């Protein structure tokens, strides 16, 4: 079975671009996607929370295709661990943007290890840069006198109201 894996961090993000990249790749390489798994979950969630459903649905010989490596994890160690776990179960991984195909026969290939580590590092750095830019933009707004957050006096429900 070939599964397209799509993950977004919030409901404000669209899955359309990832789906199109996966479908274009499968058309170019003449294979069929049997199913799409679409997950809306922040990469800040634990690796166990993000991978449980994915691992339970995959069997030996399956292929999972994703638009990019960063959809699988937040840090280098996390990505390498998940890739290792999947390939040890003889599951083939395809990352479209990185033009990388990993299976149990080529994970020990030194060039694949270098590429995988490099791409994982770049994905981790990009997330860090996004966070840094967001923090800087908020500081700049605050320096301009913009009041951030909810207006004073706003009342909203809390999960602790019942207590």
> Could you give the CA distance from residue 5 to residue 146 in angstroms, rounded to a whole number?
40
* CB of 56 closer than 8 Å to CB of 37: no
* CB of 159 closer than 8 Å to CB of 149: no
Beta bridge partners of 39: 7
> Could you give the CA distance from residue 125 to residue 133 in angstroms, rounded to a whole number?
12
Any idea which residues carry the catalytic annotation? 9
Name the token pair of 140: 């700049």
Return the beta strands (E) in 77-122 as ranges.
92-95, 100-102
Alpha carbon of residue 106 to chain centroid: 22
Tokens 């990352």 belong to residue? 95
The dihedral over CA atoms of 119, 81, 124, 143, expressed in degrees to the nearest 10, equals 170
């Amino acid at each position: 079975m070939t599964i397209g894996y799509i993950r977004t961090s919030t409901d404000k993000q669209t899955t359309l671009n990832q789906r199109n990249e996966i479908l274009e790749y499968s058309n170019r390489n003449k294979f069929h996607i049997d199913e799409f798994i679409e997950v809306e979950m922040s990469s800040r969630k634990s690796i166990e929370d993000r991978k449980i459903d994915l691992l339970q649905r995959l069997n030996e010989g399956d292929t999972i295709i994703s638009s990019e490596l960063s959809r699988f994890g937040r840090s280098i160690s996390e990505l390498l661990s998940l890739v290792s776990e999947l390939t040890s179960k003889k599951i083939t991984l395809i990352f479209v943007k990185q033009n990388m195909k990993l299976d149990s026969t080529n994970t020990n290939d030194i060039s694949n290890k270098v590429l995988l580590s490099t791409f994982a590092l770049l994905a981790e750095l990009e997330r860090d840069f996004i966070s840094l830019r967001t923090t800087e933009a908020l500081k700049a707004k605050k320096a301009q006198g913009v009041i951030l957050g909810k207006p004073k006096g706003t009342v909203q429900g809390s999960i602790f109201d019942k207590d």
